[in-house]
Each structure stands twice: as C-alpha cells, then as structure tokens.
C-alpha cells in the first residue's frame, strides 16, 4: 500500500486548505453581484490551478482549488444560496478523511510503496501557456453550460471533467487521452457494486463495509498496474465522489437517482474526451507555431 504521510505534513496541508477555501469563498461572495467580476475571478482561479498542475502534476492545492471553484459556483449561481458554509463542510470532510486514513494504516499494516510520480516537463508550465489558457476557457464554458442547464449533477460532472483534463499531456497524446478515459471509467466501474447494493436496500453500515472493500481492491489494482500519481488521484477522485453521493442518498427512489448519476458520469466522460481531443489539436498547433 502507499507510504503513510507524516502527521505534521497533513496538519499543515489541512490548515492551508482551510485558509485557501475560506479566502476563495469570501472573495467570491464579494463579487457575486458582478457577473463579469465573478466570472473573471473564477476563470483566473481555473487558470492558476491548471498552471500549477502543469508545473507539478501531483500538486494537491491545485486540485483542491478546482474543487472549491466548481462547488462554489454551482452553489452560488445554480442553487442561489450562499457558499459561506462551504469551508466548514470541507474542514469537516478533511478531518474525517485524515482520521480514516490513519485508522486504515493501523488496520492494514504492510509494506509501504511509493506511488510513481509523473514525468515533469523540464520546460515547465510556461511552455504550455496557450494550452492552459484553452483548458481554462473550456472548463469555464462547461461550468456555464452546466449551471444554465440546472442539472442536479453539475458538481459531479464538473469535478469529473476537471480531473480528466487537469494534468499536462505526455509525449503520446493519443495514449494520454485513452488513459484518461480508461482511468475515469475504471474508477466508476468500481462503484457499480455500491450502486446495486444501495438499490436492493442494504443498510448504511453494510454499504460502508462494501466501500472499504472496493476501495482496497481499487488501490491494489492501481498498485499492480504501476499507476503514476495523476492516474492514482484520478481513479480515487471519481470513486470517492460517486460513492459519497451513494452513501448520502436519503430519497425513496434510489434506482432512478443512481441511474441519473451514471448517465451524468457518462456525459462527463464524453465532454472530457471532446476537450482532450481539442486540447490535443491546440497543443499540436502551438508546437507547429513554435517550430
């Protein structure tokens, strides 16, 4: 299993995430009455996040800011409610995740293996500014379309797409696109047993047990496949986002609700695939211009 991170590092990361989410939300609330100002603010954050991801594919802060921007925008603009409570909710979720992480290492001790890091471009993110700009525009347009559609799964779709396009390309663009799509699909396939168990009416405690088992199987699969860090993060981002919605469902019609989520995920994969193809074309165009 992956190596256990130091406690002090996680606490520092938790503090940074809380202050960053609080700062992002507070400034966003001040700009919410100005559509142009709020739109430019969110786009700037998207650009900054994609830039940091190109500079360092395993940058957790960049991923976190993407999540905050997506959730804040949907809560404010689609649901029409204040996002002031978002930092507190993220703090609660992060503390729970921290406790569960260390409890898991106590329950399942074993050999600790480092996840392979992604290959970093020696030229840095500055050599991909055009591509980063395009990704930011594409992601902003996707969020505008999702919010305008009023979809109940806007956050789920937005997170899935941003996870697919976040990291920089490898040298083989076609292989990169296939890996993104396959990884996203695998993370979702590992949640299907949870969906079926929820539909047949398993109690919450049993669903938590199934989640633990499936998460361990997904981790083992990733380790056997020698996945790099960005692939590992993408696998579990999709897995946990969908599983959390299954566990928190309180309605009387789980079948239609979960079916809607799966259709939304399929839509997100399709949109992500289209953006990846467009970014591939953009990347080739930029390279040709440089040459």
Quick: pLDDT tens for 74-128: 999 998 888 888 888 888 877 887 787 777 777 766 555 556 666 655 555 566 7
Q: Tokens for 46, please give them.
A: 């998207």
Residue ranges per structural domain of the chain: 7-290
pLDDT tens, residue by residue, 172-186: 445 455 666 777 778
pLDDT over 90, % of the chain: 18
286: pLDDT strictly greater than 70:
no
How much is the average pLDDT of 130-153?
90
User: In the chain, what is the greatest distance between 2 CA atoms, to the nearest angstrom?
Assistant: 60
Tokens describing residue 186: 């695998």
Q: What is the pTM of this model?
A: 0.81
Nearest in space to 199 (alpha carbons), one of 208, 211, 207, 187: 207
Give the burial string for 133-165 (b: 16+ CB within 10 Å, else e): ebbbebbbebbeebbeeebebbbbbbbbbbbbb
Distance CA 56, CA 230 (A): 10
Position 170 scores a pLDDT of 54
Comparing 35 with 120, which gets the higher pLDDT?
35
Reported as half-sphere exposure (CB side, CA atoms, 13 A), residue 174 has a value of 0
Sign of the alpha-carbon torsion through 239, 15, 74, 56: negative
- CA–CA separation, 97 and 100 (whole Å): 5
Q: What does the pLDDT read at residue 289?
A: 52
Q: What pLDDT band is residue 45 in, cutting at 50, 70 and 90?
A: very high
């Amino acid at each position: 299993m992956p190596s256990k991170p130091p406690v002090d590092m996680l606490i520092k990361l938790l503090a940074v995430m809380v202050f960053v989410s609080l700062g992002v939300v507070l400034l966003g609330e001040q700009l919410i009455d100005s559509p142009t100002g709020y739109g430019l603010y969110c786009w700037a954050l998207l650009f900054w996040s994609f830039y940091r991801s190109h500079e360092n594919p395993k940058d957790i802060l960049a991923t976190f800011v993407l999540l905050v921007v997506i959730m804040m925008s949907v809560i404010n603009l689609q649901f029409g409610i204040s996002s002031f409570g978002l930092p507190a909710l993220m703090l609660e979720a992060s503390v729970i995740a921290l406790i569960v992480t260390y409890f898991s290492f106590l329950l399942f001790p074993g050999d600790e293996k480092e996840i392979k890091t992604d290959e970093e471009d020696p030229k840095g993110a500055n050599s991909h500014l055009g591509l980063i700009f395009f990704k930011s525009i594409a992601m902003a347009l996707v969020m505008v379309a999702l919010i305008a559609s009023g979809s109940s799964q806007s956050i789920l779709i937005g997170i899935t797409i941003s996870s697919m396009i976040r990291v920089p390309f490898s040298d083989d663009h076609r292989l990169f696109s296939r890996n993104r799509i396959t990884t996203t699909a695998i993370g979702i396939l590992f949640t299907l047993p949870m969906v079926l168990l929820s539909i047949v009416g398993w109690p919450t405690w049993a669903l938590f047990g199934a989640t633990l088992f499936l998460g361990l199987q997904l981790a083992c699969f990733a380790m056997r496949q020698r996945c790099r860090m960005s692939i590992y993060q993408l696998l579990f981002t999709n897995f946990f986002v969908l599983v959390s919605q299954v566990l928190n469902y309180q309605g009387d019609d789980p079948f239609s609700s979960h079916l809607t989520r799966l259709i939304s995920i399929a839509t997100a994969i399709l949109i992500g695939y289209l953006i990846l193809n467009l970014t591939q074309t953009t990347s080739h165009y930029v390279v040709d211009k440089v040459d």
